[in-house]
Amino acid sequence: NAGVTQTPKFRVLKTGQSMTLLCAQDMNHEYMYWYRQDPGMGLRLIHYSVGEGTTAKGEVPDGYNVSRLKKQNFLLGLESAAPSQTSVYFCASSLQVPKQFFGPGTRLTVL
């Protein structure tokens, strides 16, 4: 099992550009999550999904969109990137109890 994988590992964008981060899991987990990690702030939940075709807002959803078209994939989109979105993004997945498995992260810099 690969567990949770994230693509890409690193990305540099210019302000206003768009991009999509891909998260994939092979554990047949129902729940998937996107977090951002910033120094001194821990991990903050952006969006999450409780199953294929469903998404919900987390703590810091503004400026991001998500889609869960397939159970194993969870996409995070930035339509118009801003410097404030410079961060490390983590995807996670879980079954119905909150034991989450994390991907290796994507480091995004917005210039």
Where on the chain is the footprint of other proteins (CB under 8 A)? 4, 31, 33, 40-45, 48, 50, 56, 58, 90, 92, 94-105
CB of 74 to other proteins, least distance (A): 13
CA 30 to chain centre: 15
For 101, the enclosing helix (H) or strand (E) is strand 101-102
Nearer to other proteins, 12 or 15 (CB): 12
Nearer to other proteins, 19 or 43 (CB): 43
Nearer to other proteins, 87 or 94 (CB): 94
Give the three-state DSSP class for 38.
coil
Nearer to other proteins, 56 or 111 (CB): 56
79, two tokens: 């339509």
CB of 42 to other proteins, least distance (A): 4
CB of 103 to other proteins, least distance (A): 6
Whole-angstrom Cα distance, residue 14 to residue 60?
21
- List Cβ neighbours of 82 (8 Å cut-off, separation of 6 or more): 15, 63, 110
Query: Which letter does DSSP use for residue 59 in this model?
Result: S
